[in-house]
Structure 1
């Protein structure tokens, strides 16, 4: 999970919190409670992670920060430019997938 630059690791901070970030933080918590490990990188705090991952680096070169947030799993970009729904996260993290 590659997030745009935010004030903190989840973006759920500061005086004006984006409701989409609150929802997504809850959805990621739900995924992790199902036993799925999620690594989340914030461009402001861990820019090196964005450079090291070729798919992310390419997306940023092509689309700039509009590519973020970006989700990579198993060498594939699953989502970019928006936070996915809980339903999408559930589909991507099913054990039979």
Structure 2
């Protein structure tokens, strides 16, 4: 089974829905990763803000950052090899790597929000 690792630039969250402008590419990749994880595929994301050790400990990622700086991110590894820099993989690429279809990568995470009124 393939292992995919996505190394994100520093950001406050991986969903793309925080901040003043929603990034559609981040929401797409968040949905794809969620869908793949639910199907039992091995896909990991590392955020430079939250997981700096993952960037330092991986020699290939560390070297890509030394060579290209932060513009190398996002960076994607498949089975330990760099396959993409400076952009997220498309749903077609993810589907090809995992032997699934792009339409299976669009499930949205469901989050429950509770609101309390006056106490």
**TM-score interval (norm. to shorter):** 0.7 to 0.9
Residues 37-81 of structure 1 show CA distances to partners (whole Å, capped at 9, x for unaligned) of 211110011111100001100100000011111111222112111
Q: Which whole-Å CA distance do the structure 2 matches of 1:78 and 1:12 have between them?
A: 26
Say which of 19, 28, 31 aligns to 2:33.
Answer: 28
The size of the alignment, in residue pairs, is 95
The aligned counterpart of 2:67 is 62
Q: Indicate if the aligned counterparts of 2:16 and 2:24 stay in contact, CA closer than 8 A.
A: no
Q: Indicate if the aligned counterparts of 1:31 and 1:90 stay in contact, CA closer than 8 A.
A: no
The unaligned stretches of length 5 or more in structure 1 are none
Q: Taking structure 2 as the reference length, what is the TM-score of the superposition? A: 0.72
Q: Which whole-Å CA distance do the structure 1 matches of 2:17 and 2:60 have between them?
A: 26
Q: Does 1:39 align with 2:44?
A: yes
The aligned counterpart of 1:18 is 23
Superposition deviation, residue 15 in structure 1: 2.5
Q: Indicate if the aligned counterparts of 1:9 and 1:41 stay in contact, CA closer than 8 A.
A: no
Q: Taking structure 1 as the reference length, what is the TM-score of the superposition? A: 0.86
